[in-house]
């Protein structure tokens, strides 16, 4: 966990199972809805501030939608 102490680090992302007590945490959106996933990619919706946003990414796996929501 030494990487989290780097002076140039602005944001760090770790799994919530990692016991980091001295840092502020943010959870990924709980209102993530995966609408379609096939060989062409993944489509998912995120509800934010009473607005539904639909996204597509040419990657497979629902875990990728979770990872991409961190960038939203």
What confidence tens digit (pLDDT) does each residue in 20-31 have? 766 666 666 667
- Taking the C-alpha atoms of residue 28 and residue 15, their distance in angstroms, rounded to an integer, is 10
Segment holding 66, helix H or strand E: helix 62-69
- Taking the C-alpha atoms of residue 14 and residue 60, their distance in angstroms, rounded to an integer, is 21
Which of 71, 66, 67 is closest to 31 using CA atoms? 66
Instruction: Tell me the pTM.
Output: 0.54
Residue-level pLDDT at 37: 86
Please report, in angstroms and rounded to a whole number, the separation of the first and last CA atoms in the chain.
25
pLDDT in tens, 35-71: 888 888 888 888 777 788 888 888 877 677 777 776 5
């Amino acid at each position: 966990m030494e990487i989290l102490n780097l002076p140039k680090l602005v944001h760090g992302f770790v799994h919530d199972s990692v016991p980091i007590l001295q840092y502020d945490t943010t959870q990924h959106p709980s209102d993530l809805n995966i609408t379609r996933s096939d060989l062409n990619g993944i489509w998912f919706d995120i509800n934010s501030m009473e607005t539904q946003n639909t996204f597509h990414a040419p990657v497979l796996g629902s875990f990728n939608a979770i990872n991409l929501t961190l960038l939203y």
